[in-house]
Amino acid sequence: MFQTLSRRTAFLSVLAVRDFRIFSAGLLTTVLGRQILVVTQAWLVYDMTGSPLALGVVGGAHAVPGILVALFSGALADRFDPRRIILAAEAASALLLLVLATLVATGLVQVWHIIVVAFLTGITQAFDSPARRSIWAPMVPREKFLFAISVNSSIWNVTHIAAPALAGAIIASVGSLANDDRVGAGAGFYVAFAGFLTMVIAMRMVRVAPAQRSRGATVFHDIVDGFVFMRRNRVHLYLLALSLSAGYFGLSYIYLMPVFAEDYLRVGPGGYGALLSMAGIGGLVGMMGVASFGQYQDRPWLIIGSLTLAGSTMVLFAVTTAMVQSYVLAMAFMVVIGGSFAVFQVATSTAMNLLVPDEYRGRIMGFRGIMFSLAPLGSLQAGVIASVSSTPLAVGFAGAMLAVIGLLVYVVSPDIRGLRRIVTEANATYAQRTVSGG
| Per-residue pLDDT at 282 exceeds 50 | yes
Please, are residues 194 and 204 in contact by the beta-carbon 8 Å criterion?
no
- Indicate the residue type of 310: A
At 179, the amino acid letter reads N
pLDDT at 181: 81
Q: Is 9 part of any domain?
A: no
Please state, in angstroms and rounded to a whole number, the distance separating the CA atoms of residues 87 and 127.
10
Residue 4 lies in a domain: no
Q: What pLDDT, on the 0 to 100 scale, is given for residue 269? A: 74
Highest mean pLDDT among 49-63, 252-266, 300-314, 345-359: 300-314
Residues 6+ apart with CB under 8 A from 140: 14, 17, 20, 147, 148
Answer whether residue 98 shows pLDDT above 90: yes
131-151: per-residue pLDDT in tens?
A: 887 787 778 877 777 788 778
Look at residue 212 and tell me if it is in a domain. no
Quick check: helix, strand or coil at residue 2? Answer: helix
In a domain, 213, yes or no: no
CATH number of the domain bearing residue 55? 1.20.1250.20
- Residue 268 vs residues 99, 171, 187, 262: alpha-carbon distances, Å: 27, 11, 18, 6
pLDDT, mean of residues 279-296: 73
Q: Which domain holds residue 96?
A: 17-207+220-436
Residue of higher predicted confidence among 341 and 70: 341
What are the tens digits of pLDDT across the range 189-228?
999 999 999 999 999 998 876 665 556 567 777 777 777 8
Confidence band, pLDDT 50/70/90 cuts, at residue 66: confident
Within a domain: residue 339? yes
| Predicted local distance difference test score (pLDDT) of residue 433 | 61
pLDDT band at 90 (very low <50, low <70, confident <90, very high): very high
Q: Which residues are CB-contacts of 182 (< 8 A; sequence separation ≥ 6)?
A: 44, 47, 48, 104, 107, 109, 175
Least confident of 45-54, 212-221, 278-287, 422-431: 212-221
Question: Which of 277, 361, 287, 344 lies closest to 310, judged by CA?
Answer: 344
Please name the helix (run of DSSP H) or strand (run of DSSP E) that holds residue 356, with its range, or none: none
First-residue to last-residue Cα distance in the chain: 44
pLDDT of residue 436: 55
- Print the SS3 string covering 94-148: HHHHHHHHHHHHCCCCCHHHHHHHHHHHHHHHHHHHHHHHHHCHHHCCHHHHHHH
Q: Is 62 contained in some domain?
A: yes
- How confident is the model over 297-313, as pLDDT tens digits? 557 888 999 999 999 99
Q: Tell me whether residue 86 is in a domain.
A: yes
pLDDT score of 2: 45
Our count of domains for the chain comes to: 1
Distance CA 147, CA 349 (A): 12
Domain-embedded: residue 215: no
**pLDDT value, residue 7:** 54
Cβ neighbors of 210 (< 8 A, separation 6 or more) are: 138
Q: 50 vs 220, which has greater pLDDT?
A: 50
